Amino acid sequence: MQLKDPKGGAIAAAALTLLGGATPSQAEEKRWLFDTAMLFYTEGADRVYAFEPKLAATLDLRNGGAVNAGFTVDVLTGASPNGAAPSNQPQTFTTPSGNSSFTAAPGELPLDPSFKDTRFAGELGYTMPFGDANKLNVHGNASTEYDYRSLGGGATISRDFNLHDTTVSLGVNASRDSINPVGGAPTPLAEKTGAGGGPDQSKTVLDGLFGVTQVLSTTSLMQVNYSLSRSTGYLNDPYKVVSVVDADGDPVRYLFESRPDSRLKHAAFVQYKKFVIDRDVLEVSYRFMTDDWGIDSHTGDATYRFNFAGTHYLEPHLRWYRQSAADFYRVALDDGEPVTYASGDPRLGAFDGVTVGLKYGQTSWGNLQWSTRLEYYKQIGRVDGLPPVAGAALDKLDVAPDLNVIMLTLGARFRY
């Protein structure tokens, strides 16, 4: 064969380059994907510190399926609110074990300093394609910490329609938790005099999820999810109390909290993702959650991935959250006030939260992709759940203090 045209030469040369590369065995596709991350979390001086390393691995199977496994360790230490209201007097509490005590200064939100936990969690999943456009995922997970164990599993089925432009998913999940509180599980609304003393408890959670992902145009897609979650059993936090106060807001005694033994949550989530100026990715989402405890929450989230140079990117993140208080959330109870349920856990109170963050990453550093993310979260408490009589006195104190959190996440992922 002779070549009269240099362009023919270009194709022949390119064909030889293509074939002259690594032998197929060396070019074998990398079937392992490893994902690692490390989270550092701090609520500032005297409050919770957390450290959370994570490792996940996925193996692509030759039959078209995949197996994944993950392992997470959570190490938490520091002080967290025990549910009691602040007071003009010093307040002394025994720790959950009943073996030691701590004192909160006047005007300060009581924080239990014995909060210390190490949690180990593992999960295992298997995904298999079947038919032309269907996928089935089954997974199981387990976690353990010294006073809590959880075992769960579930399945998700998804199907593509319209030449993969539409994906519909349906998932179910169930878990069974056993709670073995330090010092025993207390009787709800019993006066806290020492440790709880009661028997171990359990909790069951059933979740369902329905989702649709739709490619809208060449540059955008939308995802809509609806999820339902039902918890039954022991839903109290065995270490949380609620203050009973006199007319001046001064503590009379402390009761163990009492929550309903079932909770039904509905959540709707919508996300819009757009590829902009042929380079960047904008993602905005909104989530609404409502439950039969009276909590409604709204979450707005936006990220902009700025692919500024080759394999480097910067991703600013902004998140806004608002939650209303549970019907039974109480800063404190008036002495003699009749209640069935009451909790002083600030997580069930009304608050707003704002997160701002920035992520920097490199999508190709040899065989590795890495990223680092720094985020600041500010929680602003809104006062709700004041007792009718003592409310005016308590309102003078900072019953819903702000919370400041800094989070640093380091992530790396590579194929092998």
- Which of 55, 215, 318, 374 binds other proteins (CB under 8 A)? It is 215
Segment 218-247, which members bind other proteins (CB under 8 A)? 218-221
| Closer residue to other proteins, CB minimum distance, 165 or 200 | 165
User: How far is the C-alpha of 235 from the C-alpha of 341, rounded, in Å?
Assistant: 12
- Which of 10, 190, 358, 406 binds other proteins (CB under 8 A)? It is 10
| Min separation Cβ 123 and other proteins, Å | 21
Kindly indicate which of the ranges 14-22, 169-177, 228-236, 259-267 contains the residues binding other proteins, using the contact rule CB under 8 A.
14-22
327 burial type by CB count under 10 A (0-12 exposed, 13-18 middle, 19+ buried): middle
Kindly indicate which of the ranges 64-72, 84-92, 194-202, 246-254 contains the residues binding other proteins, using the contact rule CB under 8 A.
64-72
Cβ neighbours for 408, distance < 8 A, ≥ 6 positions apart: 39, 40, 372, 373, 374, 375
| Closer residue to other proteins, CB minimum distance, 2 or 340 | 2
User: How far is the C-alpha of 226 from the C-alpha of 270, rounded, in Å?
Assistant: 9
Q: What x/- string results for residues 81 through 120 when contact with other proteins is judged by CB under 8 A?
A: ----------------------------------------
Cβ neighbours for 99, distance < 8 A, ≥ 6 positions apart: none
Kindly indicate which of the ranges 142-150, 246-254, 271-279, 348-356 contains the residues binding other proteins, using the contact rule CB under 8 A.
271-279
Distances (CA, A) of 109 to 89, 345, 402: 12, 11, 11
| Closer residue to other proteins, CB minimum distance, 20 or 338 | 20
| Closer residue to other proteins, CB minimum distance, 73 or 368 | 368
Bridge partners, residue 237, by sequence: none
User: How far is the C-alpha of 68 from the C-alpha of 64, rounded, in Å?
Assistant: 13
- Which of 58, 204, 363, 371 binds other proteins (CB under 8 A)? It is 363
**59 in contact with other proteins (CB under 8 A):** no
| Min separation Cβ 110 and other proteins, Å | 47
| Closer residue to other proteins, CB minimum distance, 158 or 243 | 158
| Min separation Cβ 289 and other proteins, Å | 25
Segment 142-201, which members bind other proteins (CB under 8 A)? 163-165
For β-strands 241-245 and 332-334, DSSP reports them as parallel
Q: Which residue has the tokens 């690692």?
A: 36
User: How far is the C-alpha of 149 from the C-alpha of 331, rounded, in Å?
Assistant: 30
| Min separation Cβ 361 and other proteins, Å | 11
# binding residues, other proteins (CB under 8 A): 53
- Tokens matching residue 141: 């997970």
Q: How far is CA 290 from the centre of its chain?
A: 17
Residue 205 φ then ψ, to 5°: -125, 130
The Cα diameter of the chain in Å comes to: 104
Q: Of 182, 172, 157, 237, which Cα lies nearest the Cα of 205? A: 172
Q: Of 334, 332, 329, which Cα lies nearest the Cα of 351? A: 329
- Which of 135, 240, 317, 330 binds other proteins (CB under 8 A)? It is 135
| Min separation Cβ 125 and other proteins, Å | 15
Kindly indicate which of the ranges 143-151, 320-328, 340-348, 361-369 contains the residues binding other proteins, using the contact rule CB under 8 A.
361-369
- Which of 149, 312, 322, 415 binds other proteins (CB under 8 A)? It is 415
- Which of 7, 199, 277, 336 binds other proteins (CB under 8 A)? It is 7
| Closer residue to other proteins, CB minimum distance, 24 or 336 | 24
Binding site for other proteins (CB under 8 A): 1-5, 7-8, 10-12, 14-19, 21-22, 24, 26-30, 60, 62, 64-66, 129, 133, 135, 163-165, 215, 217-221, 273, 275, 278-279, 281, 307, 310-311, 363-364, 369, 415
